[in-house]
Homo-oligomer: A and B are copies of this chain.
């Protein structure tokens, strides 16, 4: 009377699907991701794949949530040891740049791609991207405020302007790495970040 698969096995399969889907969505986009292609890649039936999620949109949301989790574990989590303010931010951006340079289609770049892909498509996926980006902005804003309060940055710093420009550097790094495959991109990004975080 035991079930065909244990709870742990089911969760492992779900993880395998998400990992494969994330890789596929990195090249094809989250909308270009298809259940049939995913099933072939995994050696499963379409019904077996989609059964874990219900429908394509739920799968998209699960892939996105997984990418956000990986990003948080890789970037902000590694910066917790640094002192609040500019040091913690410098560390976080450094980690992000490493993360982008390292793999082909890991988390951070993926979020950027999905933001572009869904900027004209209202719905739950767009909302989830918006929430992830807002969460990152809040993180940066809190650290910038701490930097201003502790005197690391001038009192009259336009925090939102700095966030805007930091964001631009990340987007430029992403494009340089993903599209142009320019090996000098990480160094350029680090230089720009350093200047924005200098007093």
The chain A residues found within 8 Å of chain B, CB to CB, are 26-27, 29, 31-32, 104-105, 112-113, 115-121, 129-130, 133, 160-161, 164-165, 167-173, 175-176, 178-180, 184-185, 188-189, 191-192
How far apart sit A152 and B116, CA to CA, in the bound complex (Å)? 36
Chain B residues contacting A121 (CB-CB under 8 Å) are 27
Q: Are A172 and B176 in contact (CB under 8 A)?
A: no
Q: Are B161 and A167 in contact (CB under 8 A)?
A: no
Q: Are A165 and B169 in contact (CB under 8 A)?
A: yes
Residue from the set A26, A130, A172 with the largest chain B CB neighbour count within 10 Å: A172
**Number of copies of this protein chain within its complex:** 2
Question: Whole-angstrom distance from the CB of A68 to the nearest CB of chain B?
Answer: 16
Question: Whole-angstrom distance from the CB of A156 to the nearest CB of chain B?
Answer: 14
How far apart sit A65 and B140, CA to CA, in the bound complex (Å)? 39
**Extra inter-chain contacts (6) besides given A113-B119, A171-B175, CB under 8 Å:** A27-B121, A29-B32, A112-B116, A130-B179, A133-B180, A160-B184
Nearest opposing residue in chain B for A188, CB measure: B164
20 A/B residue pairs, CB under 8 Å, sorted by A: A29-B29, A29-B31, A29-B32, A29-B117, A31-B32, A104-B120, A115-B175, A116-B117, A116-B178, A119-B175, A133-B179, A160-B188, A161-B188, A161-B191, A161-B192, A164-B172, A164-B185, A165-B172, A167-B175, A168-B169
How far apart sit A125 and B29, CA to CA, in the bound complex (Å)? 16
* Given A31-B29, A160-B188, A188-B160, residue A120 in contact with residue B168 (CB < 8 A): no
Nearest opposing residue in chain B for A171, CB measure: B171
